Structure 1
Amino acid sequence: MSAPTDKLFTYTEGYFITKSLLALWRLGLLGGADARIDPGKSAAGLGCDARLLRATLDYLVIRGIFVKDGDAYRYSEHGRELAPYYGYLPMHIGAYEPVFGQYEQVLHGDLVYGANLKRAEHELVGGMSAMEEHLLARLNTLMDEIAFTGVLDLGCGSGRMLAQVLRRSPRLRGVGVDQAQEACEKARQNLADEGLAGRTTILYGDAGRLHELPAGVLAQVDLVIAMFVMHEIHWQRSRAGVVSCLRDIAGVIGSGGRFLMVEVSRIAAGGARPGLRFVPEYQLVHEYSNQRLAGEQEWREMLAEAGLTVLRTEPAGMCEAFCFVVGVRE
């Protein structure tokens, strides 16, 4: 078989592996590092076909993700290594399946994102919830160096990040804003389950228009966190809309407050560096869902225009993601 054919089959194999793992994720069968699946019992409990579930697991045995354990299946060493990161599957693939499953209709303009097409928000929320421990490790380290009393989480999703921040001290209070009702409901439930409902306010609203939130709700906020949110505003509202939002943030945190912004940098005009993982895909996904990534220098310029300054830059531990620690310019 020729080398080009080998390469093409590598791409198609990746598709089938991804689809198989995502199916198991959606069934709730990709658990912790010690997951063990009995196809008969699992199929009966989930109302699915035991023969097809076994066929999926047998396929993933061949691909090195699972091994047979009697009549059941458990992770191989490789599958166990991947376990902390399976949340990327619904985030990167499942959430945008409605878009890329209808690729040609979107290209032709028969389907338009934001009009008659949208991503699967529940997949995004579920994936982010699973990945938060991994994604937030860097932010937690940065927050150790910041004194704050109130935190605002823009695009709060499941609320788990907000809960993790509030657990740092019983004196902290938090506000979460999200434009998805489902996310707000999940956040309220998660925070209530954590016993934190009395210290939090979850608002269904637009993270890009903080000035439209109820008066006084942000009075105690001196730390604002935005994880992969600002690029959505960048496309929808243009550069001017981003700068306006950043000015609102500057007004919220005031002198001495901090803004933690996590984003993925757009690929430079000169092209992607060799070995760049998922960033080209991330950029493509966002072009098709009407969101525009910006480069680090572009973000610095917009922050400066809004009266903010970057105090520190750190890698965020995902793709080419970075975190800006930002303060109000004196």
Structure 2
Amino acid sequence: MANSAQDDLFGYTEAYYATRSLLAAWRIGLLDAAQHDQVDIGDWAAAQDFDPDLLRALADYLVLRDLLERDGDAYRLSERARAMYPYFGYLPSHVGAYEPIFNALEDVLARRRTYGGDLDRSHQEVASGMSAMEEHLLGQLTRITDDIRFHGVVDLGCGSARLLSKLLAREPGLRGVGIDHEEVACAEARRTLEREGLSDRATILRGDATRLHELPAGTFDGIDLAIAMFVMHEVNYGRTRDEVVRCLRDIAEMLGPDGRLLMVEVSRVPADGPRRGLRFIPEYQLTHEFSHQRLIGRDDWESMLAEAGMKVLRTEPAGICEAFCFVASVA
């Protein structure tokens, strides 16, 4: 006899093990290898110095869950997984990055361990996941900026600097600045600029995007466009509304008259909001609560931008993760 309650519970169990298995396959490079060609598990295990029997057990489990296909000892991504492949960056950025916290959740709740003390998220996992996901936003964000004339651009929380590179590639006279508080991201950004031949037109600085006044004098000379992609929600935790507005006002003052801000953020869902059909925001919101980053609603962002001296020109859904793109001008 069918038992829907039991099936529901097993669904959560399946989701956990499928996610952990996919994340491991991502981390060891198996998903990439199986995306481009068939992988002989025995040969691949030997080349990577993995236990072949355990690797085969992992691969066979993913076959059962319709994520890999098997032909003898050769495996490749299933059609279903190939469709998912562009979104695999969610695995490290949204699951792997927060494992240190959620593996110790009971201790965190009991205040035996604290985020920012003896616990932290994995910044390397965030950087690798966002790098994998950026492609989905690059086309949309470059299109949004097509009608924005600018002389210089700063990417606040630049990550791999792929967006910064695309914007600088428009015209030879444009200059850019990338700021990120993680050295891993800064190193990747510098590699991107060097690979694209743009190192002479952009500077990458390790710093706090919410404390622009602490960066070297002249950093923002000629900058009239700012990009802030999934960055500004980090200023909310522990700050009052007025303090958040002050951070936004600093950006407006840095840009000067006629400057533009392109901001991408996820809008908070209230506890009494809709419960069905939300595939991303509840988990994103939960991980951010436990890592001292607090989401706020779309309307709140728009009102705070106005209080900071900026005029919201348009707001539109982003191409990933139920986020919004805000385009604002300095009033």
| TM band (smaller chain) | over 0.9
Structure 1 unaligned segments of length 5 or more: list them.
none
Whole-Å separation in 2 of the counterparts to 1:191 and 1:50: 39
Note if contact 1:233-1:291 (Cα within 8 Å) is conserved in structure 2: yes
Residue deviations 1:112-150 (CA, integer Å, cap 9, x gap): 111221100000000011111012222121011211121
Whole-Å separation in 2 of the counterparts to 1:296 and 1:166: 29
Q: Give, in angstroms, the shift of residue 69 of structure 1.
A: 2.9
Residue deviations 1:145-164 (CA, integer Å, cap 9, x gap): 21112111111112222222
Whole-Å separation in 2 of the counterparts to 1:71 and 1:170: 51
Whole-Å separation in 1 of the counterparts to 2:75 and 2:250: 52
Q: Give, in angstroms, the shift of residue 273 of structure 1.
A: 4.9
Q: Give, in angstroms, the shift of residue 287 of structure 1.
A: 0.6
Could you list the runs of 4 or more consecutive aligned residues of structure 1 that deviate by over 6 angstroms after TM superposition?
none
Alignment of 1:71-110 (within 5 A): 71-110=73-112
Q: Give, in angstroms, the shift of residue 288 of structure 1.
A: 0.5
Structure 2 counterpart of 1:61, from 40, 60, 63: 63
Structure 1 residue 16 and structure 2 residue 22: aligned? Answer: no
Structure 1 residue 123 and structure 2 residue 125: aligned? Answer: yes
Q: Which moved more, 1:11-20 or 1:189-198?
A: 189-198
Structure 2 unaligned segments of length 5 or more: list them.
none
Structure 1 residue 25 and structure 2 residue 21: aligned? Answer: no
Whole-Å separation in 2 of the counterparts to 1:206 and 1:99: 23
State the identity %: 57
Whole-Å separation in 2 of the counterparts to 1:172 and 1:273: 45
Alignment of 1:246-265 (within 5 A): 246-265=248-267
Alignment of 1:311-322 (within 5 A): 311-322=313-324
Structure 2 counterpart of 1:206, from 201, 205, 208: 208
Whole-Å separation in 2 of the counterparts to 1:67 and 1:253: 52
Structure 1 counterpart of 2:49, from 47, 50, 54: 47
Structure 1 residue 178 and structure 2 residue 180: aligned? Answer: yes
Alignment of 1:89-238 (within 5 A): 89-238=91-240
Whole-Å separation in 2 of the counterparts to 1:155 and 1:118: 18
Alignment partner, residue 4 of structure 1: 5
Q: Give, in angstroms, the shift of residue 168 of structure 1.
A: 2.4
What letter corresponds to residue 96 of structure 1 in structure 2?
Y
Q: Which moved more, 1:5-14 or 1:38-47?
A: 38-47
What letter corresponds to residue 173 of structure 1 in structure 2?
R
Whole-Å separation in 1 of the counterparts to 2:166 and 2:74: 35
User: How many residues are aligned here?
Assistant: 329
Whole-Å separation in 1 of the counterparts to 2:49 and 2:202: 38
Q: Give, in angstroms, the shift of residue 269 of structure 1.
A: 5.3
Residue deviations 1:206-265 (CA, integer Å, cap 9, x gap): 100111111111111111011111110111433233212111111122222210110000
Note if contact 2:124-2:184 (Cα within 8 Å) is conserved in structure 1: yes
Note if contact 1:258-1:327 (Cα within 8 Å) is conserved in structure 2: yes
Whole-Å separation in 2 of the counterparts to 1:145 and 1:164: 15
RMSD of aligned residue pairs (Cα, Å):
1.5
What letter corresponds to residue 151 of structure 1 in structure 2?
V
3-state SS in 2 of match to 1:218: coil
3-state SS in 1 of match to 2:30: coil
Alignment partner, residue 242 of structure 1: 244
TM-score (normalised: structure 1): 0.96
Structure 2 counterpart of 1:298, from 291, 300, 306: 300
Whole-Å separation in 2 of the counterparts to 1:62 and 1:200: 48
Whole-Å separation in 2 of the counterparts to 1:44 and 1:213: 49
Query: Using a 3 Å threshold, how does the CA distance of structure 1 residues 20 and 269 change in structure 2: closer, same or farther?
Result: closer
Q: Give, in angstroms, the shift of residue 34 of structure 1.
A: 3.0
Note if contact 1:34-1:80 (Cα within 8 Å) is conserved in structure 2: no
Residue deviations 1:68-121 (CA, integer Å, cap 9, x gap): 134210111111111111111101100101111111111111111112211000
Q: Give, in angstroms, the shift of residue 10 of structure 1.
A: 0.8
Q: Which moved more, 1:44-53 or 1:216-225?
A: 44-53
What letter corresponds to residue 171 of structure 1 in structure 2?
G
Q: Give, in angstroms, the shift of residue 310 of structure 1.
A: 0.7
TM-score (normalised: structure 2): 0.95
Whole-Å separation in 2 of the counterparts to 1:10 and 1:68: 24
Whole-Å separation in 2 of the counterparts to 1:290 and 1:7: 31
Q: Give, in angstroms, the shift of residue 165 of structure 1.
A: 2.1
Q: Give, in angstroms, the shift of residue 311 of structure 1.
A: 0.5
Note if contact 2:177-2:202 (Cα within 8 Å) is conserved in structure 1: yes
